[in-house]
């Protein structure tokens, strides 16, 4: 199966970042083998985390989220890089010198 990038938006329940970071310190990320953490960003209010994950099996993402579901609500979006998006758009454009209208 091909690798897929997922943008995971974590909403800390009750806006409780302390509980999330406490568990992270105690247990780590708790991701199953085959699910790769890429990078993450947290909003300046400490209410949401935007995490980029990579896997060949979406079920691994579900397994990981189950480990955190008591503290976090999740939104998950399959994503591609900007470069991949530009390549896809370019592939759909007509060749130079031809009108698309």
Phi, psi of 88 (to 5 degrees): -65, -40
CATH superfamily label, 4-92: Dimeric alpha+beta barrel (3.30.70.1060)
Instruction: Encode pLDDT of 44-99 as tens digits.
Output: 999 999 999 999 999 999 999 999 999 999 999 999 999 999 999 998 877 665 55
Q: Residues near 64 by Cβ (< 8 Å), separated by ≥ 6?
A: 29, 30, 31, 32, 35, 53
Alpha carbon distance 12, 46 (integer Å): 8
Alpha carbon distance 15, 5 (integer Å): 26
Average pLDDT over residues 1-15: 94
Domain boundaries, the chain: 4-92
Instruction: Encode pLDDT of 10-38 as tens digits.
Output: 999 999 999 999 999 999 999 999 999 99
Confidence at residue 1, expressed as pLDDT on a 0 to 100 scale = 66
């Amino acid at each position: 199966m091909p690798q897929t990038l997922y943008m995971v938006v974590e909403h800390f329940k009750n806006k409780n970042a302390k509980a999330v970071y406490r568990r992270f310190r105690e247990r780590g990320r708790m991701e199953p083998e085959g699910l790769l953490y890429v990078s993450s960003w947290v909003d300046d209010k400490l209410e949401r985390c935007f995490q980029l994950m990579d896997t060949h099996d979406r079920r691994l993402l579900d397994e990981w989220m189950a480990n955190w579901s008591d503290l976090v609500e999740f939104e998950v979006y399959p994503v591609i890089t900007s470069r991949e998006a530009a390549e896809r758009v370019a592939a759909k454009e007509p060749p130079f010198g031809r009108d698309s209208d």
